[in-house]
Amino acid sequence: MARMKFLCDAERCIECNGCVTACKNEHEVPWGVNRRRVVTMNDGVPGERSISVSCMHCADAPCMAVCPTDCFYKTEEGVVLHDKDLCIGCGYCFFACPFGAPQFPNGPAAFGARGKMDKCTFCAGGPEADGSEEEFKKYGRNRLSEGKLPACAEMCSTKALLAGDSSVVSDIFRDRVLRRGKGAEAWGWSTAYGGGKQEQTRERKQERTQEQAQEGKQ
Amino acid sequence: MNTRILTLLAVAGTLGLAACGERPQIVEYKQGQYQGKADTRPWEGPAFKGDKVAWENALRNRNQSQNEYKRVE
């Protein structure tokens, strides 16, 4: 098994926040903590793009490098996890993370009063026994040990958010890009609201001309 | 005199180049060592009871079900 990764397709994300809701519901994440959020660029302007962001489980994670209590660890599947028993809530990981993934239950409180850091676990729990109540209370549900992928990706209605083995995820994305083409007309508004119909009509016309040409030959 | 300079240059060169060795930039995390702290592996839980192949197959199926082109075929 290769490395576990998330991939968000900006052409498909419709900013429904289903991933955020799925995550909060699955792990019973407390108020004020968002392990995942949807970021929109050029909101309201034609051509706006949204992507779902959480911990990206970096290959060389900066949070792991800066943690003074060395509470982070990496699983064999490349998932970056942390031990809440060791966390002192200093917030260094938050400053080091380029995605703003580490969250603190008490918000931007004074040093030491932020509470234990909480972040996306790729639905892989923590150091406690898999599926135990203790693990659920601290880190949420361990779906990976149940043979399931993260709830956010599995709940994504447009399958913009992909999760799993990085090679498979990139294969799916590559296949998708090859089929839909590139550019603004590829997916999103034009395909969902009319553009796709034009595309289909063009394809049908092409097929008809090909059929007629074949019939003519016969 | 010339041989001494040459020897010195050779030694300096060896020492200087030794500092340019390429080392892997990414840490290899081993279970139970350094930052690869001890944790139950996902296939060692109650659901798969140590059957890694079954776990990998389950994940592979889930992975592929994200590809709607395959699902509609």
For A74, the closest of B29, B55, B64 (CB atoms) is B29
- pLDDT at position A1 is 62
Chain B: residues touching A (Cβ < 8 Å)? 25-27, 29, 31, 35-48, 54-56, 58-60, 62-64, 66-69
pLDDT at A67 over 80: yes
pLDDT at B61 over 50: yes
- Mapped onto helix, strand or coil, the DSSP state of residue A38 is strand
Q: Which amino acid is at A188?
A: G
User: Which of A149, A169, A170, A173 would you mutate first to test chain B, the one with the most B CBs within 10 A?
Assistant: A149
For A148, the closest of B37, B56, B62 (CB atoms) is B62
User: Which of A93, A130, A136, A165 would you mutate first to test chain B, the one with the most B CBs within 10 A?
Assistant: A130
pLDDT in tens, A125-182: 999 999 999 999 999 999 999 999 999 999 999 999 999 999 999 999 998 888 776 6
Q: Is residue B68 part of a domain?
A: yes
Angle separating helix axes A166-180 and B52-64, nearest 10 degrees: 20
Which residue bears the tokens 């970096």?
Answer: A58
Q: How many domains does chain B have?
A: 1
Q: Which amino acid is at A127?
A: P
What gap in Å lies between CA A44 and CA A41, rounded to an integer?
A: 9
Q: Which residue has the higher pLDDT, B31 or A97?
A: A97
Q: Is residue B32 part of a domain?
A: no
**DSSP summary character for residue A142:** B
What gap in Å lies between CA A160 and CA A82, rounded to an integer?
A: 27
Q: Is residue B57 part of a domain?
A: yes
pLDDT in tens, A1-27: 678 999 999 888 999 999 999 999 999
For A130, the closest of B35, B38, B45 (CB atoms) is B45
Q: What is the DSSP string of B11-69?
A: HHHHHHHHTT----SSPPP-TTBTTB-----GGGSTTTTT-HHHHHHHHHHHHHTT-HH
CATH of domain A4-179: 3.30.70.20
**Neighboring chain A residues of B44 at a CB cutoff of 8 Å:** 130, 145
**Neighboring chain A residues of B56 at a CB cutoff of 8 Å:** 1
What gap in Å lies between CA A77 and CA B44, rounded to an integer?
A: 14
- pLDDT at position A192 is 47
- pLDDT at position A94 is 94
Whether the predicted interface score ipTM is above 0.85? no
pLDDT in tens, A37-65: 999 999 988 778 899 999 999 988 999 99
Domain that holds residue B65: 44-73
pLDDT at A194 over 50: no
Q: Tell me the two tokens of residue A139.
A: 């880190």
Tell me if chain B has a CB within 8 Å of the CB of A151: no
Q: Which residue has the higher pLDDT, A216 or A168?
A: A168
The dihedral region occupied by A92, where left means phi > 0, alpha psi between -120 and 50, and beta the remainder, is: alpha
Which residue bears the tokens 């911990």?
Answer: A55
Q: Is residue B13 part of a domain?
A: no
Q: Determine, for residues B36 and A145 on separate chains, whether the beta-carbon distance falls below 8 Å.
A: no
For A60, the closest of B25, B42, B59 (CB atoms) is B25
- pLDDT at position A120 is 97
User: Which of B60, B66, B69, B70 would you mutate first to test chain A, the one with the most A CBs within 10 A?
Assistant: B66
